[in-house]
Structure 1
Amino acid sequence: MDEVQVTTRLQHHQLTNAQVWSADGQSLVYDLRPAQHLFTSKSVEKIQVETGEVTEIYRASQGAHVGVITAHPQINDRFVCIHGPESPDDEWQYDVHHRRGVILSSGGVETLDACDITPPFTLGALRGGSHVHMFSREGDRISFTYNDHVMRQRAIEKDQRNVAIALPHHPVTVLNKAPREHDGAYFCVVVSQTTGIPQPGSDQISRAFEEGWIGDSGYIKHSGQRQRWALAFIGETVSAAGHSVPEIFIVDLPEDFSAYQRAGDYPIEGTEYRLPAPPAGIKQRRLTFSEGRGVALQPRHWLRSSPDGSMIAFLMADINDVIQLWVISPNGGEPQQLTTGRHGVQSAFTWHPLGKALTFVLDNQVVIYDIHLGTTIPLTDRTSTAPCAEAVVWSPKGDKIAFMRDVGGFRQIFVVKTTELYWC
């Protein structure tokens, strides 16, 4: 099938790893960073795939930058992205612990996560920076990774990243605001548990990251009951030999909002000397025991669940040290290796909206892996340079896949249609 170049301007266009299609599948959203790790985009945009019409969704002001935009799965004109600090200075400039999420809707802007960095801290507020915000299937809950300013300032932790969620319709007001503190439209809590120095050979982790919602409606437990809300993430363990080993963990989340207000062993909002803690009853559970191989960190990818919640897909090296695609049940058990070729997977991946297949870059081509047939189908020609690794994203109807290539020194967005197959 022929790929089509969607963007043509002589500037960079950066897709996020998932949720880049509008709900109707007609437009793509992106920022204008020159590279994934350089947060210098001043605006976020959308482009109508068929016509090429570009619309600026939001432009930052006062020296701030924005990026990593994702689209609401059900509402066309609703988005969330990272927003850096306005009027940055030597004490507060863009960093992992100095950023926030913003909801963009019908021209309006509201801050997602409240920030309170001076004690006493506020329940439902965070104390640092949020990153890569992902809507749940309905779009009412949002997951993200989080870095804490208070602990960083006290040199207690350097990058003890955690996973957090934002719950809707419960705005948080920070009283007696100090500079850089602000209110938030959502109630936010950390749901992972990290340890500064994990015990070797234990299930303790130093970081939690690259999370993904489980299923469109959760998953079915061994008991036959449905767990409506759950998140999988990569947790960095330490092996008995003292080596860092990334493994997959899961947290089951309550449905009732009141459960998120009940503290467990430690305060949900954190203390001057302790990170914010998960509410009572939220306990992370380890899924993979990879015998030292660990989940692959390169290419960088995010855990992605099949729509029915039965499989969590991830990348890991096989016995020949080739990066392959694997899946594991949210109930645990042995991982299943899907791809088996001599060429390693080169990118992040996404699922077909009905769970029929996954798409990613392999051997410098955008491909589809058919779950039922166990075969890999190339969609684009093999090129001397591979498509960009950060994003290969299936459209909501399953009829198109978006990805990026570097063309003439600029990162451009491409689309390949799948309508000639049976995917849509």
Structure 2
Amino acid sequence: MFDKKEVQITHGEFGHTLNTGQVFSSNNEWIVFDHRNNDGDIKITGSIGVVNVNTSEEKTIYTVPNQTQYGPGVGAASFSPKENKVIFIHGIRNADAKKPYDFTRRTGVAIDLVNPEQPIFMDARNIEKPFAAGALRGGTHAHSWSADGSMISYTYNDYVMEQLAKTDSQVKDLRTIGLMFPKKVQVANTADVENNDGEMFSVLAAVVTENPKLGSNEIDKAFDECWIGKDGYVKADGVRQHKAIAYQGNVRDEKGNTITEIFVADIPHDLSVTALGQEIAGTENTRPAVPKEISQRRITFSQKGVKGPRHWLRSSADGNQIFFLSEDEKGIVQAFSVSPNGGDVKQITKNPFSIASPINISPDGLYLSYIADQSVFITEISTGNAQRLTQKYQAPEQLNGAVVWSNDGNKLAFNRYVKSDKGIFLQVFLLHK
């Protein structure tokens, strides 16, 4: 299996934060990172870098032109599975003390590695009337490519609704999810850098409501999603659903308690040819509507719901299982799985200590990777057998973030703090088969 000798491949005395997934280039030659040294530092982080897996050469591929302590800020970069292109969070370009980086003030920017420092604005942004179909009015983050590279999912907060909530107590800025697909969108006023055209057409994919009915499937927050399978999944009726997203949604039980359950959004195979109405743009008083062609379905009905450290759902390559974290009967955070068609939930890990990180699934669907007990672990999904791949680290040189598989399954990348004469910095490490 994996050689337990870890290899440090970055050495610069600054942060090298890996995203929770999709950090390897399609040919597994490069790993992308941002220069954060702490998870919450996107606002003050001004550059994106890559490191060569074979030579440890580090290169900066994008630097924010006007970075300040208030933003714009960049972070959370992920590689396309098909192109030498990365997408990452980019704060709105006019960030200052009055308008700093925030949930509703960020967008998705891409860099093609052959043209570094040339930002490509992926999702269009348009926060003033007339709102444009295909453009958003707020902030996207946690961008994730579909397996064929044709679509990108994201988490979203709406700026227009956020501002309306300040004067209307019935309105809330509710987090939700969406997706974008190739189709250029132009907006009216790009002279104001609050707005920008986009290379892709954006829609929301989950219906959220301010006051979910108790005991219903209504949600007031959708978040931390994943694409299901390399080619979707097979429905209960035997028909293949080629495009679908699994996501976490907050429901209310009969007593009014918030429980995070798992939902699935089934998506038309080609939204670019679908006749989408103007309602998807939103109004001054309503958030953008989810296209009626996208369905929303709850697949778990549990007592505990999703629990544990923040994590994005993960899918097996064949789309048969969705993986998530929750607590076992002893209150220990373990990995579980459920079919996208719903049904029984299966416990995968059986560790005596809690999983302490996001999770990832090997490309062959056989193993789960994560951090627990300050070590890198993998667990065989079929048996639940766990392997500790690194020693147990102590502060200040501790593990951080997710453990990410290369596209060929032969490497694991992870972050660990390393102490130097100038301080303690997050570095990128590899484990090899």
Aligning the two structures, in what range does the TM-score lie when normalised by the shorter sequence? Answer: over 0.9
Q: Which residue of 1 aligns with 2:102?
A: 95
Contact 2:400 2:417 in 1 (8 A): no
Q: Which residue of 2 aligns with 1:38?
A: 41
Distance in structure 2 (CA, Å) of the matches to 1:317 and 1:125 = 39
Paired residue total: 412
User: In the alignment, which of 80, 94, 97 is matched to residue 72 of structure 1?
Assistant: 80
Give runs of aligned pairs for residues 83-122 of structure 1, distance below 5 A. 83-105=90-112, 106-107=114-115, 108-122=118-132
Q: Which residue of 2 aligns with 1:332?
A: 342
Deviations along 1:214-239, whole A, 9 cap, x unmatched?
A: 00000011111100000001001112
Residue identity in the other structure for 1:72: S
Residue identity in the other structure for 1:268: I
What SS is found at the alignment partner of 2:199? coil
Give runs of aligned pairs for residues 188-207 of structure 1, distance below 5 A. 188-207=202-221
Deviations along 1:357-391, whole A, 9 cap, x unmatched?
A: 11111222211111233311221122335953421
Q: Confirm or deny that 1:412 pairs with 2:420.
A: no
- Structure 2, unaligned stretches of length 5 or more? none
Distance in structure 1 (CA, Å) of the matches to 2:59 and 2:189 = 38
Contact 1:351 1:358 in 2 (8 A): yes
Q: Which residue of 2 aligns with 1:422?
A: none
User: In the alignment, which of 22, 47, 50 is matched to residue 25 of structure 2?
Assistant: 22
**1:48 deviation in Å?**
0.9
Deviations along 1:318-371, whole A, 9 cap, x unmatched?
A: 111110100000000011001122211111111111111111112222111112
What SS is found at the alignment partner of 1:186? strand
What SS is found at the alignment partner of 1:171? strand
Residue identity in the other structure for 2:406: S
Distance in structure 1 (CA, Å) of the matches to 2:409 and 2:231 = 19
Q: Percent identity over the alignment? A: 38
**1:283 deviation in Å?**
2.1
Contact 2:223 2:248 in 1 (8 A): yes
Contact 1:260 1:279 in 2 (8 A): no
Residue identity in the other structure for 1:284: Q
What SS is found at the alignment partner of 2:65? coil
User: In the alignment, which of 51, 54, 73 is matched to residue 50 of structure 1?
Assistant: 54
CA 1:241–1:410: 2 relative to 1, 3 Å? same
Give runs of aligned pairs for residues 208-227 of structure 1, distance below 5 A. 208-227=222-241
Q: State TM-score, norm by structure 2.
A: 0.91
Distance in structure 1 (CA, Å) of the matches to 2:313 and 2:265 = 13
What SS is found at the alignment partner of 2:401? coil
Give runs of aligned pairs for residues 20-419 of structure 1, distance below 5 A. 20-39=23-42, 40-63=44-67, 64-75=72-83, 77-105=84-112, 106-107=114-115, 108-155=118-165, 157-168=171-182, 170-177=183-190, 179=192, 180-258=194-272, 260-263=274-277, 267-291=279-303, 293-296=304-307, 298-385=308-395, 387-408=398-419, 409-417=424-432, 419=433
Q: State TM-score, norm by structure 1.
A: 0.93
What SS is found at the alignment partner of 1:154? helix
Residue identity in the other structure for 1:74: K
Distance in structure 2 (CA, Å) of the matches to 1:258 and 1:45 = 32
Residue identity in the other structure for 2:297: R
What SS is found at the alignment partner of 1:407? strand
Distance in structure 1 (CA, Å) of the matches to 2:36 and 2:406 = 22
**1:25 deviation in Å?**
1.2
Q: Which residue of 2 aligns with 1:3?
A: 6
**1:175 deviation in Å?**
2.1
What SS is found at the alignment partner of 2:279? coil
Distance in structure 1 (CA, Å) of the matches to 2:297 and 2:274 = 18
What SS is found at the alignment partner of 2:162? helix
Greater mean deviation of Cα atoms: 124-133 or 336-345? 336-345
CA 1:43–1:176: 2 relative to 1, 3 Å? closer
Distance in structure 1 (CA, Å) of the matches to 2:427 and 2:310 = 19
Distance in structure 2 (CA, Å) of the matches to 1:387 and 1:27 = 24
CA 1:18–1:258: 2 relative to 1, 3 Å? closer
Distance in structure 2 (CA, Å) of the matches to 1:193 and 1:259 = 22
Distance in structure 1 (CA, Å) of the matches to 2:270 and 2:85 = 25
What SS is found at the alignment partner of 2:219? coil
Distance in structure 1 (CA, Å) of the matches to 2:285 and 2:274 = 22
**1:120 deviation in Å?**
2.4
CA 1:158–1:6: 2 relative to 1, 3 Å? farther
CA 1:193–1:233: 2 relative to 1, 3 Å? same
What SS is found at the alignment partner of 1:390? strand
**1:405 deviation in Å?**
1.2
Deviations along 1:138-166, whole A, 9 cap, x unmatched?
A: 11110001110000011155541110101
Contact 2:189 2:195 in 1 (8 A): no
CA 1:243–1:197: 2 relative to 1, 3 Å? same
Contact 1:366 1:387 in 2 (8 A): no
Contact 1:300 1:390 in 2 (8 A): no
Residue identity in the other structure for 2:285: Y
